[in-house]
Each structure stands twice: as structure tokens, then as C-alpha cells.
Amino acid sequence: MKERPTFPARLDFAVGNPKGSRPAPGHAHSALSLGARPSGGVLSQGLGLDSSAVRMNMVRKLSHQGLTDPLVLSAMGSIERHRFVDSALVNQAYEDTSLPIGLGQTISKPGVVSRMLELLRNGAPGRLGRVLEIGTGCGYQAAVLSLLAHEVYSIERLRGLHDKARDNLRYLRLANLHLLFGDGMAGYAKGAPYAAIIAAAGGEAVPQAWVDQLAVGGRLVAPVSAGSASAGQQALLVIDKTPQGLRQTVLEAVHFVPLKSGVA
């Protein structure tokens, strides 16, 4: 695997700017390397949700739903989900429900997050190599991914959410997590090839850029339109990139925000 690019990094527009010229002022892409992780961790104050027992109860429920990957279960039990939702919703943080995070976006259910991460890992004995996440959102899944991979690049197209994720993740000081502001449909070629790619938004098809940036032997997990696209139906799609070509598997129905190009 090639050496990762030096940070801070910039992303070039792939839509409407094929030659990679610089974006207009006020639309610069940015990246975040969050430093060294503290050994003891930091607990939230005054929310009553910082007890590990609360997270372990969520993990037990995930296990009862069929989640079996021990590394995913451990990661889900380690990251405090209530830190990533608005204060008015913290009492619902450990329920298996999606919650609004602003700008028309949501934080996915713990059950969906863990299911997709288990699919992404596909029984790997240890941490994955380099992973690309499309759609940082509030930063929760990126934080969980940082415990499952040696290096994570996470792209968000909405400036407001990119900034929110930076704030949410700052306390964790995750040295292996890099946040990028840019068009996720173009992926991030400078970090390729990736051992795994995961998307938190669904389109009619997986962009070719993601497939190109996936390493041979790698796996991509993303929601895609299924059935009537106008009805908003989606299903989970798993793509394995083998030496013989692509192997695609369509799984259960899901509901994610639509995949869009450009930045805002």
C-alpha cells in the first residue's frame, strides 16, 4: 500500500471542473488529522449517558439482532453516540433509531451502522487497512471506523456538517482519521487504493470513481436505488473487487439520504 498523502490536503472538484482547477474562494477543501488519542478517554459531563453500561446495553441489543463481529461490537461499545447528536435528542442516542443532525441529514441507526461495518469487515481477523467513507455527517460512523481500520478518510459535501464533525471528533484526537470537505461522488484518489469503501448516501448506481479506487481484494458497501427509484426504495449493495472482476450482492432494504454531487 502506497504512502498516504501529506496533510493538510486539498480535494479537486470532479464535477464541473474536470481539470482540477482551484475552487472559488470560500469553497476550499480541507482535511483534519486529529492528533494522538488520550489513553484514558474523556467522559461527558452532566448528560447521564457517559456510563459504559448504557453503551453495553446497546451492544447487547445489537448482538440479539444478529451482530457477531467482536471488533464491531467492541467499537460500537467504545464510541459515545450521544456526543454526536443534538442536546435535545441525547435521551434517544442509544435507541436503535436514526436522528436528525441538521441540513436535512441524519445519523443512521446503530443497527444499520453495525450491520454495514460487519459487512465491510467481512470477517477480517484484525483491522482493515485504508478505508474511505462517503458522507461524514456528524462524524459518528467515522469515529467507529477509526477503531476498525488503520487509516480512515471521510468526505462530506456539506460545509456545515463537515465543521460539525470536526467539533464532535476533536475530543477523541484520532490520529488515523482524516476529514475532507469535498464531492464524495469523486472519492479521494490521492488516498487510493482502499481496502474498503463505505457510503452513507444512496444513488441509482455506485460511482465508477469508487470502484476504481477500491483495491483488488477490497470490499465496497453502499445503499443503491432498488425497484422504483421514484419511490425512494433502496437496498444495501456489496461489491467485492476480485482478480477476476467485480462480484455484486444485493441485500436487505435500507433508507438513506440521496447521494448528491458537488459541495454546499
**H/E element holding 129?**
strand 128-134
List the catalytic residues.
Answer: 108
| Beta-bridge partners for 125 | none
Q: Is the distance from CB of 76 to CB of 144 less than 8 angstroms?
A: yes
3-state secondary structure of 232: coil
**H/E element holding 201?**
strand 201-202
What is the identity of the amino acid at 183? D
Cβ partners under 8 Å of residue 25, min gap 6: none
What is the identity of the amino acid at 81? R
Place of cell 480541507: 30
Q: Is the distance from CB of 222 to CB of 119 less than 8 angstroms?
A: no
